[in-house]
Structure 1
Amino acid sequence: MPTVILVRHGRSTANADGVLAGWSPGVALDEHGAAQAAALAGRLAGLPVSAVVSSPLQRCRETLAPLLAARPELPSYTDDRLGECRYGDWTGRKLAELADEPLWQTVQRHPSAAVFPGEDGESVRAMQHRAVEAIRDWNERIEREHGPDAVYLACSHGDIIKSVAADALGMHLDLFQRLSVEPCSVTAIRYTPMRPYLVRLGDTGEFGGLVPRPAQGADHDAVVGGATGAP
């Protein structure tokens, strides 16, 4: 079965501002994120990528643009199921402010019980289900069209990628906050008929992300939406 290269979008203006973007329109890459996107094609040079699939959100499409310009022969698709978690009324709010909400602790400690507030708020369980379903569906399609040893790329969002990696590891969803996925990082999962193998997790190719930064919330909390990559 195929290997999927899960790329988180580059650093966005919302990441830099510590805002939970969700499905907010018009959230673009900032200058640093654009540089990350420009470097992505070089990082993936030599990989026989058969196809690219993306979240429909602008920051993912901008992340892929330099790669697709360098490899115009690559078929490219979008899939709403790889779009960001629908954070409902939390969308567009500062992470530092959200850390004071009672739901924050549920998201940290018992995310499988978390449902984001508001008419379009999504549960973390539903988010993982549709993301894993999308990857499994694309695995079948890519294998059918390009063979069992194919490699394809999927560009998505922090919580989406963490939830897919947790599934590959056989981790309960309540443990997925133990994973960290930086902007423009690469996570690779090789699927086989017996089990998936997580062969990369959150690889950025540099070590700047290891430098301690001010926390969003308590210093032991996971960042909802994924690490911001902000200095």
Structure 2
Amino acid sequence: MPTLLLVRHGRSTANTSGLLAGRTPGVDLDELGTAQAAALPGRLAALPLAAAVHSPLERCRQTLAPLAGARPELPLHTEERIGECDYGDWTGRKLAELNEEPLMATVQQHPSAAAFPGGETMRGMQARAVEAVREWNERIEREHGPDATYLMCSHGDIIKSLVADALGMHLDLFQRLHVEPCSVTAIRYTPLRPFLLRLGDTGDLASLAPREADAGDSAHGAPQAGGDGGAVVGGGA
């Protein structure tokens, strides 16, 4: 099954102004976010990508623009189900104010019970994102083979909820995870279980490129990490 690279969008003007942007239109990358996006093609240069899928919001499209320019052959797809959480009445408010809301304690400590007024539940957010990934995994494998790698550019809470699903972690624990702007989280899916290869990586990604099995792998039948659903005893190289 495919390997999925989850890219959080670059730093936005809402991030730096302390606002909960949610689905507010017109939220752009700031100067640092633009630089982060410009560096993304170089970080991904060693990785063959079958497709790039993105949230419909501007900050995700802007994050992938340099990558699309560097790889004009790369298919780009918009996927509504990996769009930002619908925070409802919280959208556009300052995070400092929202910290005083009674609901914030639920969001932090019991997110599976959190329902944003006028918006969606956090468990609904996770369910739609997981459904999207499962369907894209099947599509990418069908069209490009089981060893294909593809990318999704999305948002912090979406990525964290997908990581929680991959780890078999209850949604109530997902606030223990953190992903930086323009970081890359890599999940290799197999028929037996997903493997989390990177979490919030902001550095070099060349080691994620496909490689041939070496003599030791062949002789001993040892799978590459996550290659066929088996874990490497001792942790592997």
Instruction: Name 1:84's counterpart in structure 2.
Output: 84
Confirm whether residue 111 of structure 1 aligns to residue 139 of structure 2.
Answer: no
What is the distance in 2 between the residues matched to 1:63 and 1:174? 29
Confirm whether residue 9 of structure 1 aligns to residue 9 of structure 2.
Answer: yes
What is the distance in 1 between the residues matched to 2:124 and 2:202? 28
Per the alignment, in what secondary structure is the counterpart of residue 136 of structure 1? helix
Q: Which runs of 4+ in 1 moved over 4 A?
A: none
Matched residue type, 1:193: P
Corresponding pairs, count: 204
What is the distance in 2 between the residues matched to 1:182 and 1:96? 20
Matched residue type, 2:36: Q
What is the distance in 2 between the residues matched to 1:177 and 1:204? 20
Q: CA deviation at 1:94?
A: 0.5
Matches within 5 A, 1:181-192: 181-192=179-190
What is the distance in 1 between the residues matched to 2:139 and 2:61? 21
Matches within 5 A, 1:31-180: 31-118=31-118, 121-180=119-178
1:112-145 superposed Cα distances (whole Å, 9 cap, x missing partner): 0000012xx0000000000000011000000000
Per the alignment, in what secondary structure is the counterpart of residue 22 of structure 2? coil
Unaligned segments of structure 2, at least 5 residues = 205-237
Q: CA deviation at 1:71?
A: 0.2
Q: CA deviation at 1:9?
A: 0.1
1:67-109 superposed Cα distances (whole Å, 9 cap, x missing partner): 0000000011000001000000000001111000000000000
Unaligned segments of structure 1, at least 5 residues = 207-231
RMSD: 0.7
What is the distance in 2 between the residues matched to 1:51 and 1:110? 35
Q: CA deviation at 1:165?
A: 0.3
What is the distance in 1 between the residues matched to 2:111 and 2:8? 21
Q: CA deviation at 1:160?
A: 0.1
What is the distance in 2 between the residues matched to 1:61 and 1:2? 23
Q: CA deviation at 1:205?
A: 1.8
Q: What TM-score do the two structures reach when normalised by structure 1?
A: 0.88
Larger radius of gyration: 2
Matches within 5 A, 1:13-28: 13-28=13-28
What is the distance in 1 between the residues matched to 2:63 and 2:186? 17
What is the distance in 1 between the residues matched to 2:18 and 2:130? 27
Instruction: Name 2:229's counterpart in structure 1.
Output: none
What is the distance in 1 between the residues matched to 2:158 and 2:110? 17
What is the distance in 2 between the residues matched to 1:103 and 1:162? 19
Q: CA deviation at 1:172?
A: 0.3
Q: CA deviation at 1:204?
A: 1.1
Work out which of the residue numbers 170, 187, 203 in structure 1 matches 2:201: 203
